[in-house]
């Protein structure tokens, strides 16, 4: 099997997807293990960011909302942005949410009801794409 530039590029893309998938899964496992304590939090607001994505050469602007969550740990108030942004938000200001936080570092948290924060699917999908690309490149 001869390794030419095109084949090396295919393997690099496969390695990228495979490594990103495994890194995502590793971080997900780490976060779920570390954030072992829960408390009640409230949606305090939203950070709004306008983004531009180019599809087929045409720019499309949209707004991404990141919920800002307030929660108490040992009498101390924490207020931080969730790690999961959304195009639309089903959350409302003042809504109660379950906050899973790291007891050694309460600033590290995620919203328990947020399926994207605790979903393994993106990592599995990225790793599967990497495996498929590597297998296709070995023909």
Distance CA 59, CA 6 (A): 30
What was the pLDDT predicted at 115?
Answer: 59
Q: Which domain holds residue 98?
A: 5-137
Q: How confident is the model at residue 54 (pLDDT cuts 50, 70, 90)?
A: confident
- Residue whose token pair is 């942005």: 81
Backbone φ, ψ for residue 67 (5° rounding): -70, 140
57-110 residue pLDDT tens: 888 888 888 889 999 999 999 999 887 766 556 788 999 999 999 999 999 998
Listed residue (8, 7, 83, 69) closest to 39, CA to CA: 69
- Total tally of structural domains belonging to the chain: 1
pTM higher than 0.85, yes or no?
Answer: no
Closest CA to 134 of 5, 1, 9: 9
pLDDT above 70 as % of the chain: 87
Q: How many CB atoms lie within 10 A of CB 76?
A: 8
């Amino acid at each position: 099997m001869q390794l030419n530039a095109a084949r090396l590029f295919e393997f690099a893309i496969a390695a990228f997807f495979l490594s990103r998938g495994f890194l995502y899964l590793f971080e997900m496992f780490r976060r779920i293990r570390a954030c072992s304590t829960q408390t009640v939090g409230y949606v305090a607001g939203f950070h709004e960011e306008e983004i531009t994505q180019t599809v087929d050469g045409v720019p499309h602007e949209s707004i991404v909302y990141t919920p800002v969550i307030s929660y108490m740990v040992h009498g101390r108030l924490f207020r931080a942005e969730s790690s999961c942004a959304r195009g639309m938000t089903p959350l409302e200001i003042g809504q109660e949410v379950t906050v899973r936080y790291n007891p050694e570092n309460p600033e590290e948290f995620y919203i328990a009801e947020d399926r994207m924060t605790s979903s393994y699917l993106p990592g599995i999908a990225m790793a599967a794409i990497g495996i498929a690309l590597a297998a296709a490149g070995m023909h």
